[in-house]
Structure 1
Amino acid sequence: MPELALMDNVWIMICAVLVLFMQGGFILLEAGSTRMKNAGHIAGKTIFTLGIGSLVYWAVGWGFSYGEGNAFIGLSDFFFGNYETADEGLVGSVDFFFQMMFALIALTIAFGGFAERAKLSAYVIFAVLFSAFVYPVVAHWIWGGGWISELGKQDFAGSTVVHLTGAAAALAATILLKPRLGKYNKDGSSNDLAGHNQVFTALGVLILWVGWFGFNAGSTLGVADAFFGYVALNTQLGAAGGAVAALFIAWALTGKSDVPTMLNGALAGLVAITASCAFVAPWAAVVIGLVGGLIVFFSMKLFDKARIDDPIFALSVHGVAGVWGTISTGFFATPELSEMVAGRPGLFYGGGFTQLGVQIISVVAVAVFAFVVSYILLKITSAITGGLRVSEEEEIVGLDLSEHGSYGYPESMPGQDTKTGA
C-alpha cells in the first residue's frame, strides 16, 4: 500500500475512535442532565445499545446503507466481512468501521427521547429496529447514492443523516412515552426536573466537542490536501458561536447566564456546522453557529410550552439545529467549495434557490420518514414489551433500582447506610 493511502487509513481509524469516544460524552451529558436515581441506568444502556447497534449494523445496516440496490435502499454486502486491502483509498474495513460509528451516534441521539421513563426492553428492541430500518435508509438516500444524493444534497458530516434522523426518532418516542411524572402541572405550567450534576454535563459537552473533530474533519476521508484542517477550523468556529450566542440570549432574556443553555448552545453550534463545515467560509461558520445557539434557546422553550418533555434537549440540539445546519448550506455554500458535491453555490453567492430547495426537500423527506417509521416501530416495540414505559412506582424509585437492582450512587440514595454500605 502506498504511503499516502496508508496515511488515509490511519487518519480515518483515528477519527473513528474519536467518534466512538463521543459516546463517553453522551454518557456524562445525559447522566448529568437527569436525576441521580437514573444515572447508572443511562450510563449502562448507552454501552449495551452500542453492542446491539454494532451487531445489527454489521449484519444488515451497512448493506442497506451502502450496498448496491436502488434509489431507496441498498440490497447487498450484508454481514460485512471485507478483509481486502487496497492500493489507494480506504480499505473496506476501515470505511465500514468509520461509518458504523455514525450509525451508533444516531441511535444514541434517538434514545434521548426515552430518558428517565422507558423500559430497558424497549431500548433493546428499538435499538435493533432503528439500526436496521431507519438510519440505514436515510444514509443510503444521502450518502449511499440514493435519490437525495442525486439531487445534489450537501450534508458533509451528518446534520441531516445523523442528527435530524436521531432527533425525529426521539420525537416519536417522547410523544408516545408522554412526560415524566411531575414535569407538568394541571394548569399547563412546567416544573424544572433539574439534572443532578452540571460538571458531568459540561465535561460531556467537552468530550463531544473534541470527538466532533473526528466526526467532521474525518469526513474528508483522506489527508492528501490537508483539507481536514479547514473543516476543523469551521467546526471550532461554529461551536464557539453557538456557545456564546446561547449564553448571551439566556442572560439577556432571563437575567441569568444559564449553564445548561450555554452547553446546549455549544452542541447546537456543532450540529449546525456539521452539514456545511466543508462548504462555507469561516465567517459563515460563525454565523451558522451563532444562529444555532439562538434557535436552540427558543426551541427549548417552545417544546416545553407544548408539553413535550425532552430531558436531554435532543429535539432542540439535534433536531432544530440539524434542520438549520442543513438549510444553511443553501445560503452560504461558496462556488469553490460546493464543487466537491454538485457544484451549486448557495443563495448568497449567486446560486439562486436551487441548492436551498434541495436542502429543504431533504429536511422534509428525512424528518417525515424517520418520525413516521420510528413511530410505527415504537408501536411494534410497545406491543412486544407490554408498553414502552415503566410503572409509576418504578419511575418514582428510579430506573437504576427498578431496572438494574442497584443505584449508580448507592451511598447517596435513600435507605443506604453511608457508614456500612447496607
Structure 2
Amino acid sequence: MDTAFLLNSLWVMVSTVLVILMIGGFILLETGSTRMKNAGHIAGKTILTFGISSIVFWAVGYGLIFGEGNSILGFSDFFYSGYEVEGLSLSGSVFFLFQLAFAGISITIAFGGFAERAKLSVYVVFAVFFSILVYPFIAHWIWGGGWLAEHGKQDFAGSTVVHLTGAMGALAATLLLKPRLGKYNKDGSANKIDGHNLVFTALSVLFLWVGWFGFNAGSTLSVDGAFFGFVALNTNLAAAAGTIAALAVSWIVMGKADIPMMLNGTLAGLVGITASSGFVDTWAAVVIGLVSGILVFYSIRFFESKQIDDPIFALSVHGAAGVWGTLSTGFFATPELATVGKPGLFYGGGFDQLGVQAMGVLASGAFAFVVSYLILLGMKMVMNGLRVTEDEENIGLDISEHGIYGYPEFVNIEATIRESKRETKVENPSLVTQRPSIN
C-alpha cells in the first residue's frame, strides 16, 4: 500500500469529520434562529435524521449514486460492505463516509423549511424518501457519471448536488406547511419572528465556516500537489466577501448593520463558492462571495414579500446562492483549472459552459422540487397532515412532541414568577422583574 494512498485516505477522513461536525453547526443555526420553545426538538430531530439518512445511504443511496447503471441512476453496490473501489486513490470506506456526510448535509438543509411547525414523524418519513428518491438521482447525474456529467457539468463540491437540492426540498415543505402562526397579518405584511439566541447563530456560522474546509478542500480527494490548500483559500475568500457584502447592503438599505443578515451572507458566500472552488482564480472567488452576499439579502426580502415563510432562510442561503454558485463557473472557470467541462465565458470559452450550468440548475432544481412536493403531498394525505395542531405549535414542539423543554430551568422560573404574582396580588406588575416569553 503506497504512501499516496494512505495520505489521501487520511486527508479525506479528516475532511469527513469536518463535514459531519457541520451537522452541529446546523443544530446551532436552526435553534439559534428559531424560538426557545422549539430548541430541543430541532436539536434532537437533526441528530435523528442524520442517523436515518446514514442507514439509507448505506443500504441504497451509495449504490444509486455510484453503482453501475445508466445515465439516470445506478443499480448496484447496495449495502456497502467496505470493499475497495477500483481506480480510486484512497480507501473505499473513507470515500463512502465522505459521500454519506454530503447526503446528510443535504437533508439537513431541506429540513430548514419544516422548522417550528412539522410533526416529528414527517421528518422521519421524509428523510427516508428524500434519501432514496431525490438526492441520489441528482448526485448520480453530476458526480456518478450520469447525463449531466456527460455534458461536462461543473460542481466541485455541491452547490447544486447538496445545496440546491436541499433548498428545493425546503421550498416544497414550506409551501405545503404554510407560514407559522403569527408570521403574516391579514393585509399580507410580515411580522418579524426573531430567533432566541443570536450568539448560537453566530457560533454556528463559525463552525460551518471551518467545516466548509472539509466540504470543499476535501473534495479534492487527494493530497497531490496540495491543491486542497488553494481550494481552501478560495473558500475562505468567498466567505469573507459574502460577510462584508451582506452587512454593507443591509446597512445601506435598512439603515442598520443587521447581524443575522451578515451571518447569512457568510453562509451564502460559502454556498456560492462550493461549485467553483476548484475551478476559479482567487479574484473570482472574491467576486462570487460578494455577489452571494448581496443576492441573499434581496432573496430573503423577496420570499418574505411572497409570504413564503422560510425560518432558516434555506431558500436564499442554499437555493439562490446555490444557483449563482453553479452558474459562476460558466463565467469564471479558467482553462488551467477546468478539469471538468470547459472554461468560462470570461476566459474565452463562450457560452457553452454557462449553458451546461444553467441546464444543470434547471433540471436538478425542478426534479428536486417536484419529487419532494409529490412525496410530501402523498405524506400529507396518508399521515393526516404534515403540521402539528395550533395548540401544539403555540406551546412549542419541545413539549408537544417530546414532553420536555430544551430550557427546563427557564420554564420553572416563569412558573415561579407567575405563581408569585398570584399569591402576592401585585398591584403594579411592572415592578416585578419581567422575563422574556418562552415564545
Normalising by structure 2, what TM-score? 0.93
Which runs of no fewer than 5 residues in structure 2 stay unpaired? 418-439
AA paired with 1:183? K
Aligned residue number for residue 411 of structure 2:
413
Question: Is the Cα contact below 8 Å between 1:272 and 1:322 reproduced in 2?
Answer: yes
Aligned mates of 2:233, 2:77 — CA distance in 1 = 36
Aligned mates of 2:300, 2:263 — CA distance in 1 = 13
Aligned mates of 1:397, 1:88 — CA distance in 2 = 52
Question: Is the Cα contact below 8 Å between 1:288 and 1:328 reproduced in 2?
Answer: yes
Aligned mates of 1:229, 1:381 — CA distance in 2 = 44
Question: Is the Cα contact below 8 Å between 1:332 and 1:346 reproduced in 2?
Answer: yes
Aligned residue number for residue 112 of structure 2:
112
AA paired with 1:221? L
**SS of structure 2 residue aligned to 1:407:** coil
Answer yes or no: is 1:212 the counterpart of 2:212: yes
Aligned residue number for residue 376 of structure 1:
374
Aligned mates of 1:136, 1:106 — CA distance in 2 = 11
Determine what percentage of the aligned residue pairs are the same residue: 67
**SS of structure 2 residue aligned to 1:189:** coil
Q: 5 Å matches for 1:71-110?
A: 71-84=71-84, 89-110=89-110
Larger Rg: 2
AA paired with 1:36? M
AA paired with 2:334? T
Q: 5 Å matches for 1:23-42?
A: 23-42=23-42
Answer yes or no: is 1:272 the counterpart of 2:272: yes
Q: 5 Å matches for 1:361-372?
A: 361-372=359-370
Aligned residue number for residue 340 of structure 2:
341
Aligned mates of 2:355, 2:123 — CA distance in 1 = 36
AA paired with 1:211? G
| Structure 1 residues 314-342: Cα deviation after superposition (integer angstroms, max 9, x where no partner) | 0000000000000000000011101x113
AA paired with 1:356? L
| Structure 1 residues 131-160: Cα deviation after superposition (integer angstroms, max 9, x where no partner) | 111000000000000000000001000000
Q: What's the CA shift for 1:85?
A: 8.2
**SS of structure 2 residue aligned to 1:336:** coil
AA paired with 1:368? A
Aligned mates of 1:31, 1:198 — CA distance in 2 = 10
Aligned mates of 1:9, 1:416 — CA distance in 2 = 52
Aligned residues: 417
AA paired with 1:19? V
AA paired with 1:397? I
Answer yes or no: is 1:297 the counterpart of 2:266: no
Within the candidate set 389, 392, 401, 2:390 is matched to 392
Aligned mates of 2:14, 2:132 — CA distance in 1 = 26
Q: What's the CA shift for 1:243?
A: 0.3
Distance verdict in 2 for CA 1:232–1:167, change over 3 Å: same
Q: What's the CA shift for 1:383?
A: 2.6
Distance verdict in 2 for CA 1:86–1:61, change over 3 Å: closer
Aligned mates of 2:276, 2:416 — CA distance in 1 = 51
List 4+ stretches of structure 1 deviating above 6 A.
85-88
Q: What's the CA shift for 1:386?
A: 1.2
Aligned mates of 1:242, 1:211 — CA distance in 2 = 17
Q: What's the CA shift for 1:413?
A: 2.6
Distance verdict in 2 for CA 1:353–1:85, change over 3 Å: closer
Aligned residue number for residue 226 of structure 1:
226
Question: Is the Cα contact below 8 Å between 1:174 and 1:308 reproduced in 2?
Answer: yes
Aligned mates of 1:88, 1:163 — CA distance in 2 = 25
Q: 5 Å matches for 1:277-356?
A: 277-338=277-338, 340-342=339-341, 344-356=342-354
Distance verdict in 2 for CA 1:364–1:13, change over 3 Å: same
Aligned mates of 1:360, 1:335 — CA distance in 2 = 19
**SS of structure 1 residue aligned to 2:337:** helix
Aligned residue number for residue 63 of structure 1:
63
Q: What's the CA shift for 1:381?
A: 1.9
Aligned mates of 2:87, 2:53 — CA distance in 1 = 31
**SS of structure 1 residue aligned to 2:275:** helix
Question: Is the Cα contact below 8 Å between 1:412 and 1:418 reproduced in 2?
Answer: no
Q: 5 Å matches for 1:2-17?
A: 2-17=2-17
Q: What's the CA shift for 1:410?
A: 1.0
Aligned mates of 1:221, 1:317 — CA distance in 2 = 26
**SS of structure 1 residue aligned to 2:148:** helix
Question: Is the Cα contact below 8 Å between 1:2 and 1:87 reproduced in 2?
Answer: no
**SS of structure 1 residue aligned to 2:311:** coil
Q: What is the RMSD computed on CA atoms of the aligned residues? A: 1.3
| Structure 1 residues 43-71: Cα deviation after superposition (integer angstroms, max 9, x where no partner) | 00000001100000100100111100001
Aligned mates of 1:87, 1:310 — CA distance in 2 = 43
Q: What's the CA shift for 1:416?
A: 5.3
Aligned residue number for residue 247 of structure 1:
247
Q: What's the CA shift for 1:384?
A: 3.0
| Structure 1 residues 208-234: Cα deviation after superposition (integer angstroms, max 9, x where no partner) | 000000000000000011000000000
Which runs of no fewer than 5 residues in structure 1 stay unpaired? none
Q: What's the CA shift for 1:81?
A: 0.6
Q: What's the CA shift for 1:411?
A: 1.7
AA paired with 1:351? G
